[in-house]
Amino acid sequence: MTLEEVARVAGVSRATASRVVNGSPKVNPQARRGVERAIARLGYVPNRAARSLVTRRSDSIGVVIREPTARLFGDPYFPQLLSGISAALSPRGLQLILLMPRSREEDRRLEQYLTAGHIDGVLLASLHGNDPLPGRLDGDGIPVVVGGRPPEGVRVSFVDNDNYGGAVAAVSHLIASGRHTVATISGPLDMEAGVARLRGYREALRSAGRSLDPSLEAEGEFTQESGAQAMRALLQRHPELDAVFVASDLMAAGALQVLNAAERRVPDDVAIVGFDDSPIALMTVPPLSTVRQSIEEMGREMVRLLLESIDERDRAPRQVILVTELILRGSCGGGPMS
Amino acid sequence: MTLEEVARVAGVSRATASRVVNGSPKVNPQARRGVERAIARLGYVPNRAARSLVTRRSDSIGVVIREPTARLFGDPYFPQLLSGISAALSPRGLQLILLMPRSREEDRRLEQYLTAGHIDGVLLASLHGNDPLPGRLDGDGIPVVVGGRPPEGVRVSFVDNDNYGGAVAAVSHLIASGRHTVATISGPLDMEAGVARLRGYREALRSAGRSLDPSLEAEGEFTQESGAQAMRALLQRHPELDAVFVASDLMAAGALQVLNAAERRVPDDVAIVGFDDSPIALMTVPPLSTVRQSIEEMGREMVRLLLESIDERDRAPRQVILVTELILRGSCGGGPMS
DNA sequence: CTGAAAGCGCTTACAG
DNA sequence: CTGAAAGCGCTTACAG
């Protein structure tokens, strides 16, 4: 089933048939109808490879997820992101190519693959530290959009949540509701999201006239186990604490377990606010107050920015910051207990 | 950077250069070395579109995930499956094309896409009811492998877990440890995995000489909320129950919440065993006893079967059943309480 | 608005 | 073992 046959059936040239397929305006309506009918009758579908060969476009987008398994599986973050990306890609007929390198070796090959021209653009999520990948891809002229923030000094488009604002709102609420000793379990500090939420915590304390105490801060790595561990450390250092702002719901679930085991009642003895509003927030007892962000929307926005920078090659990088919202539930005494 | 240039630099014809790239044995070692050096020097990477056009292979595999959002996000099932699939695909240079149709319309287009020859084979996960897709794809000559079981009467290769055996083991353990009234929360009964686990539950009761009671069975849909609801129904019908076999960890987490709220102590008053051994099993208090299955391995096996059926077109369908293993933790009184 | 023709980069009989 | 040549299915200046 080729264009040639469609053209023959419709009684036009291959060129005209091609124009109809590609929606070119300069086709006589009658010819157009003939071709459309032929396409429908024959069930013609263009050959992507042949098209790519001449257009030099693959019509596919690479989505790179390079995260250790622990986080990948515990956290609904990645399915949500993929869902948003897929929803934005599929109506445009773009393929989502999923890349999950899981070793140094695969990471090396990944970069070669991405720069080899097999894809039209790259979506990068969940970067750590000073990852050189976004900068290198950008240097090679590959359109890139980062979910979260690109490393310092790398000027590529990105979509981020208002991590800072969300943290400020959460901690301000804890203070306003009368808590005296507000601790925090931060995300990994080699990730922008981790750093920004910690900054928000500090800012809220500062602007409430509270003094900062580094021993009230413990670092986690966005896994449930690391949240539990951080909570144990905090309890030991500050048995008197009566509130914790935890930088992810998954870590908050871990912290909750530890508080339970230590026979601290939540929210009576200790109030907790998480971050993400992931489904996990509803699985805990009591349900978690949390900062809502829409990861699916983040995925959709990433696609939008990427398509823009594919279409208009050397436009300046854009950035989109998505709002976050404080959701009150039982874990901080402000909402329903189940 | 084309083969042509590589050939020129190496002083051979394009045909010979191509043979080296494709590892053909009939190339003079000296010529081979020359070409390899040229490739390395120039950083040559073959153009996939041009290659596909002539080989009629896309070197990409479609992975279809058609599941309502609720399950998709709460359950680590899909990330694990994708991770296993990706791990098996990437060393062979095959692209993983992720397809997540989320409407009737997208579902229709999906089928067209899959049969249009853009991909070499399809992996289908998490089928419901009498889904016609696997049968149709098979009818169109598209290699297909199903994760779980294909619908009755559809003869395609599949990889499944020993759901039945796992359920028998779990329920037998509950009976052996002295529980009198063992209820179950099943998975959706339009899914093979749901049905098989329920059959296992019944078989274990039967072979222990217990009588079956339909009112001890409640159907869930593999989500946390449905697990909670089913638990409420069971408690109402059978306040005396002292054990529940729940067909997924996520549903078990929901059931646990309800038991907590009803002030039933787990495992003292009621023992629970889940299914999956997902990370969720460690997040609950007490941690869940569960039936372990390896979803990542399932993904890898699916790829293996698919590649076999791509290479050897009309071979008979194969099936692989992966073993499951009962893991004892605090929730049924057999293991650690935290 | 339309068609003949070139050309995208590769693989693979075919003849030697 | 090697090369000249055909051909995969499409898009797109170009000339009309």
Residues 131-170 of A with CB under 8 A from B: none
Please give the nucleotide, over all strands, whose C1' is closest to the CA of residue B55: C11
User: What confidence tens digit (pLDDT) does each residue in B75-124 have?
Assistant: 788 888 999 999 999 989 899 999 999 888 888 889 888 988 899 999 99
* Alpha carbons B41 and A71: distance in angstroms, whole number: 39
Q: Which residue is nearest to nucleotide D7 (CA to C1')?
A: B54
Task: Point out the least confidently predicted range of A227-231, B136-140, B229-233, B319-323.
Answer: B136-140
Q: Counting Cβ atoms within 10 Å, is residue B120 exposed (0-12), middle (13-18) or buried (19+)?
A: buried
Question: Residue B71: which pLDDT band, with cuts at 50, 70 and 90?
Answer: low
Strand C nucleotides within 7 Å of a protein CB: 1-5, 7-13
User: What confidence tens digit (pLDDT) does each residue in B267-307 have?
Assistant: 999 999 999 998 888 878 889 999 999 999 999 999 999 99
- B246 touching A (Cβ < 8 Å): no
**Averaged over B232-246, what is the pLDDT?**
97
User: What confidence tens digit (pLDDT) does each residue in A236-269 have?
Assistant: 999 999 999 999 999 999 999 899 889 999 999 9
User: What confidence tens digit (pLDDT) does each residue in B246-269 have?
Assistant: 999 999 999 998 998 899 999 999
User: Looking at domain A163-293+326-332, does it have CATH number 3.40.50.1360?
Assistant: no
Query: Where are the domains positioned within chain B?
Result: 3-46, 60-161+295-322, 163-293+326-332
Whether B187 and B222 have beta carbons less than 8 Å apart is answered as yes
pLDDT of residue A70: 56
C-alpha distances (whole Å) from A304 to each of A142, A320, A323 are 16, 10, 17
Question: Residue A145: which pLDDT band, with cuts at 50, 70 and 90?
Answer: very high
Strand D nucleotides within 7 Å of a protein CB: 1-5, 7-13
pLDDT of residue B275: 97
- B80 touching A (Cβ < 8 Å): yes
- B47 touching A (Cβ < 8 Å): yes
* Alpha carbons A255 and A70: distance in angstroms, whole number: 17
- Chain A positions touching B101 (Cβ under 8 A) are 90
pLDDT of residue B338: 52
Size of interface A-B (CB pairs under 8 A): 136
| Inter-chain touch B50–A45, beta carbons under 8 Å | no
- B117 touching A (Cβ < 8 Å): yes
CATH number of the domain located at residue range(s) A60-161+295-322 in this protein: 3.40.50.2300
User: What confidence tens digit (pLDDT) does each residue in B133-161 have?
Assistant: 999 999 988 999 999 999 888 999 999 99
Strand C within 7 A of A26 CB? yes
**Averaged over A154-167, what is the pLDDT?**
96
User: What confidence tens digit (pLDDT) does each residue in A43-86 have?
Assistant: 899 999 999 999 999 999 999 998 766 566 667 888 889 999 99
Whether A63 and A87 have beta carbons less than 8 Å apart is answered as no
| Inter-chain touch B53–A48, beta carbons under 8 Å | no
| Inter-chain touch B53–A58, beta carbons under 8 Å | no
Distance C13 C1' – B24 CA (angstroms): 15
User: What confidence tens digit (pLDDT) does each residue in B92-104 have?
Assistant: 989 999 999 988 8
Peptide bond into A287 cis (omega under 30): no
| Inter-chain touch B285–A260, beta carbons under 8 Å | yes
Q: List the one residue out of A268, A285, A272, A270 whose CA is nearest residue A327.
A: A272
Distance from CA of B316 to the nearest CA of A (A): 28
- Chain A positions touching B285 (Cβ under 8 A) are 257, 260-261
Task: Please compute, for residue B208, the number of CA atoms within 13 A of its CA located in the half-sphere on the CB side.
Answer: 24
pLDDT of residue B199: 97
User: Which of B64, B95, B112 best probes binding to A when mutated, by most A CB atoms within 10 angstroms?
Assistant: B95
* Residue among A73, A102, A283 whose CB faces B279 most closely: A73
User: What confidence tens digit (pLDDT) does each residue in A308-325 have?
Assistant: 999 887 789 999 999 999
- B176 touching A (Cβ < 8 Å): no
Q: What is the mean pLDDT of chain A?
A: 92
pLDDT of residue B313: 78
**Averaged over A23-48, what is the pLDDT?**
90
- Chain B positions touching A87 (Cβ under 8 A) are 100, 102
CATH number of the domain located at residue range(s) A3-46 in this protein: 1.10.260.40
Distance D5 C1' – B2 CA (angstroms): 18
**Which sign does the torsion angle of CA B69, B70, B73, B75 carry?**
negative
User: What confidence tens digit (pLDDT) does each residue in B161-187 have?
Assistant: 999 999 999 999 999 999 999 999 999
State yes or no: pLDDT of B326 exceeds 80. Answer: yes
Strand C within 7 A of B46 CB? yes
User: What confidence tens digit (pLDDT) does each residue in B181-197 have?
Assistant: 999 999 999 988 999 99
**Averaged over A100-111, what is the pLDDT?**
88
B3-46 shares its CATH topology with B60-161+295-322:
no
* Alpha carbons B294 and B271: distance in angstroms, whole number: 24
- The answer to whether the pTM exceeds 0.85 is yes
Tokens read off for A189: 């500090």
State yes or no: pLDDT of B38 exceeds 60. Answer: yes
* Residue among A49, A96, A102 whose CB faces B58 most closely: A49
In which residue are the tokens 């299914």 written? Answer: B275
Q: Counting Cβ atoms within 10 Å, is residue A292 exposed (0-12), middle (13-18) or buried (19+)?
A: middle
Tokens read off for B140: 């169109």
- Chain B positions touching A86 (Cβ under 8 A) are 98-100, 102
| Sheet bearing A243-246, strands edge to edge | A217-219, A182-186, A243-246, A271-273
In chain B, the percentage of residues whose pLDDT exceeds 70 is: 96
- Chain B positions touching A100 (Cβ under 8 A) are 82-83, 86-87, 90
* Alpha carbons A51 and A44: distance in angstroms, whole number: 14
- Chain A positions touching B118 (Cβ under 8 A) are 48, 95
